[in-house]
Every structure is written in C-alpha cells, then in structure tokens.
Amino acid sequence: MTRLLIVKTGDAFPEVVAAHGDFEALFRQALAREGFEASVFDARHEALPDLDEVDGLYLTGSHSMVSEAEPWSEALKPWLREARARDLAMLGVCYGHQLMASAFGGTVDYHPAGRESGTRAVTLTPAGREDALLGALSERFPAQLTHAQSVLEAPRDAVVLARNAHDAHQALRYGPRQWSLQFHPEFTPAVMQAYLARQVAALRDQGQDPQALMAGVTPTPEASSLLARFARLLG
C-alpha cells in the first residue's frame, strides 16, 4: 500500500473543526472516498519523520504566515529540500504551497491586493495542460480559496501550472513529482462558506462584498479530485 503522510501545519477555525473536521480530517475524508488512507504528522509538535518511511507527502494549510518564520516551520524547510532531493512525491496546499516555494528559493509575503477568498476561477497555463497531475482538469476550473499571503516570486526552476487574475502562482511544479497549490482541494462548499463568514469584516475593509462571495460558492469537483489523483500517480 502507498504510504501517504499528511503534514499538518495548522488548525482550522473551531466551528469548522466541530462541524466538518480539521485540515487533516478534510484531506483524509477526500482520500477515503477514493479508497486511500494517510497518516498524520503535526509539524508544530512532533519530531520530523523518517523520509524512508514515506512514499508521498501532503502539506496542509494553516492560519500561520510563512513570512513569520516560526521555528517549527523553518525546521521543515531542510526536510522538504531533502525530500525533493530524493524525488519524494509532494503536494503542498495553501500554507504548504507557500512553504514549499519558500524552501526551494521563492519569495512569500502578503499579497499587495489583499486577501483572496471564495470560489474563484483558476486557469491552467500551457505547461499545466500537459502536466501529469493538473492536465486532466479543464483549462479553466473553479477552486476554493482563502489566503492573505502568496508566492510573490516563484523559485527560478519552478514551472507555473495555473494562475488567475489575483495570483500568478496558483499551482507550481518543482520536479517530476513535486507540486503545490494555492487553492484548497480539500474544502467543501460548506467549509468555504464558514471561512467567508469569519472574514466578513476583513473582506468589507478591502472593498469586497462578503454576501456576494458567499452566494457565489459552488462545488469544485475538478480541484477536489487532485488529492486522490496525486495518490494514484504514486501507485
């Protein structure tokens, strides 16, 4: 059986955890629907696992910020570089996306246009349309997003696979089996709605309409398919 490990980098809001499960539970639920299992490592509180015991890594989102360089987060960077050197398969999501980009030589910080939240369209680049992971998706597909920081400069050797009007680096590839996504494939519409409800004041402050964003939340089956598709590529 493929040995999958979810690297937990943070907790969702308490009401999200109570109603839907924490970040790692959302990953596990999506994988279980397709017959996959994954263990969990909490990077904030546990010693780094032995990479010899892992076939593929998922890195979750977090309410932390990569630019704050918390000790546990910084400790993951050489571990991720070692995983990449071994050509270990990786899929980073949101914070995980930004952490991978930072670890591999990119720049991560607050996006000058502010927060991006809600169900937004993402477009594949020509490289994305040919990619082993994302290439099965439509050229333009909806995805769930909530982030204040972004990959402002991708690592020099990274390939941009997807972008949208807000973020030039919605998906990156760093090697044959190393990907990262700014959007959340694990989010259901209900989870996205819960996040938007938490962000009403912040969204209004930057001139957005929270009610319109909540009304615009839709299912994102193509984006959600990527978690299990990643696991299948390792088989």
Per-residue confidence band for 2, with pLDDT thresholds at 50, 70 and 90: confident
Q: Is the pLDDT of residue 196 over 90?
A: yes
Nearest Cα residue to 60 out of 120, 17, 19, 18: 17
H-state helical runs in the chain: 14-20, 23-32, 71-85, 95-103, 126-129, 189-198, 200-205, 210-215, 221-224, 226-233
At 41-99, the pLDDT tens digits run 999 999 999 999 999 999 999 999 999 999 999 999 999 999 999 999 999 999 999 99
Res 1: pLDDT: 78
Mean pLDDT for the chain?
Answer: 97
With 0.95 as the threshold, say if the pTM is over it: yes
Q: At what angle are helices 226-233 and 23-32 packed, to 10 degrees?
A: 70
Share of the chain above pLDDT 70, in %: 100
**Taking residues 96-120, what's their average pLDDT?**
97
H-state helical runs in 50-129: 71-85, 95-103, 126-129
Tell me how crowded residue 3 is: count the other CB atoms within 10 A of its CB: 13
Per-residue confidence band for 149, with pLDDT thresholds at 50, 70 and 90: very high
Bridge partners of residue 171, in order along the sequence: 162, 181
At 51-61, the pLDDT tens digits run 999 999 999 99
At 10-20, the pLDDT tens digits run 999 999 999 99
Residue-range domains of the chain with CATH: 4-188+220-233 (3.40.50.880)
**Taking residues 155-175, what's their average pLDDT?**
98
Q: Is the pLDDT of residue 235 over 80?
A: no
Longest alpha-carbon distance in the chain: 49
Q: What is the DSSP letter of 117?
A: E
